[in-house]
Amino acid sequence: MLKVAIIGPGLVGGALLEQLVAHAKSQFFATLPISVVGLINSKKMAVTPTPFPEADLTNWKAAILGATAAPANLASFVEQLAQLPGPVALVDCTASDSVASQYPSWLTKGLSIVTPNKKAFSNDYALYHKIKEISSSPSGPFVYHESTVGAGLPVLSTLNDLVRTGDRIVKIEGIFSGTLSYLFNNFSIPGAASTFSECVAVAKASGYTEPDPRDDLNGMDVARKVTILGRCAGLDIGTDTLPVENIVPEALRTVTTADEFMQRLPEFDEHFKELNEQALAAGSVLRYVGLVDVRGGQSAVKLMRYSLDHPFASLKGSDNIIAFTTERFPNPLIIQGAGAGDDVTAFGIFSDLIRIAERVGLQRVHL
């Protein structure tokens, strides 16, 4: 039995709870039992030695974290989980730096970690290294973070398999932002008629962007994903040194509000139109990509051109696409599909939890 506790159960955590409740009723639960024993949000928390009943989980906000729950205290929450018998995995659904910085201490207490939170793996290298060091024992605890890149797409598991089996990564190239995928898939295709600012406005209205679209257009989210992939491929890179092309026009970087930014963005439509027309005239389209250049040392985040028959050019909607070029795969191994969304992010977390449940399977037999 793998016991699971969720930190910051919001949309993704809620989707995960739904999937776990369905799992508990499925045939797979018999061989891979996973149960929820803890929930904490910014206000309340609850830990239980016996798993929460299904009825409470389907109504967790009121039934588990309602008015009668204890006040939130992360240190005490973790301490109580560490006292439970058997393996426990903490799922960090926050995007918090300070939560991520505590992973080493939690691992030291024997707690495994699964998370879509990119911070621990893309901030300073010392934290990353410490986490990898503690979690590299074959007897656990374990750290899995598939959902930090491409949500549930099998990106990190594939990269890890390539690296561990001795393949040599040449480069990893991809469209890692659902927002920027959607934007350029619509703005830069033959025959498209919308201006860049119109595309951004539609993306914002459809909920594809951050509240302030500059948080997507500045490339920092992509830079974090490139950092994570690069480190998994053995590079010592970080967002502080990676060249990142910020496509927010310089004059708009300092305006105060998102509204003002949106209002003034049309002033720069001519600039983007020109870039796009140059690309199209050359039989190409524009795509905003992250590049982990293991061989060439030119890792970067930038706007690039791809010819119309390239897989990046035919991408649809807000899909992600990741191409691994390696010694064994000179014609790259490519993975594409939805790289954002609550259900697919929860799917990635759940797959990671299953990997841990499989790895502690024998512990369950022996203990």
Binding site listing for NADP(+): 8-13
Chain position carrying tokens 């990119």: 118
Closest CB to a second copy among residues 266, 361:
361
Please give the structure tokens belonging to residue 104. 């080493």
Residues at the binding site for L-homoserine are 210
CB of 68 to a second copy, least distance (A): 31
- DSSP for 323-335? EEEESS-SSPEEE
Closest contact distance (angstroms) between CB of 299 and a second copy is: 22
**61 noted as active-site residue:** no
Output the smallest distance, CB 350 to a second copy, in A: 4
Of the candidates 25, 225, 273, 302, the residue annotated as catalytic is 225
With respect to a second copy, which residue has the nearer C-beta, 140 or 249? 140
Distance between CA atoms of residues 356 and 362, nearest Å: 11
Closest residue by Cα to residue 183 from 213, 224, 148, 147: 213
- CA separation for the pair 336, 318 (Å, rounded): 11
Beta carbon nearer to a second copy, 188 or 195? 188
Distances (CA, A) of 340 to 152, 153, 261, 334, 345: 8, 10, 24, 17, 7
What is the 3-class SS of 32-77, one letter each residue?
A: CCEEEEEEECCCEEEECCCCCCHHHHCCHHHHCCCCCCEECCHHHH
Give residues in contact with a second copy (CB under 8 A): 19, 22-23, 26, 28, 31-32, 136-140, 152-154, 157-158, 161-162, 164-167, 309-311, 314, 316-317, 319, 328-329, 331-338, 343-344, 347, 350-351, 354, 357-366
Please say which residue, 98 or 139, places its beta carbon nearer to a second copy: 139
CB 192, min distance to a second copy, A: 13
Closest distance of CB 81 from a second copy, Å: 20
- Nearer to a second copy among residue 192 and residue 354 (C-beta): 354
Least Cα distance to 38 among 96, 106, 95 occurs for 106
How far apart (Å, rounded) are the C-alpha atoms in residues 358 and 336? 26
Tokens 């639960």 — which residue? 29
Q: Two tokens at 309?
A: 């028959």
Residues 25 and 356: beta-carbon distance below 8 Å: no
Name the residues annotated as catalytic.
Answer: 225
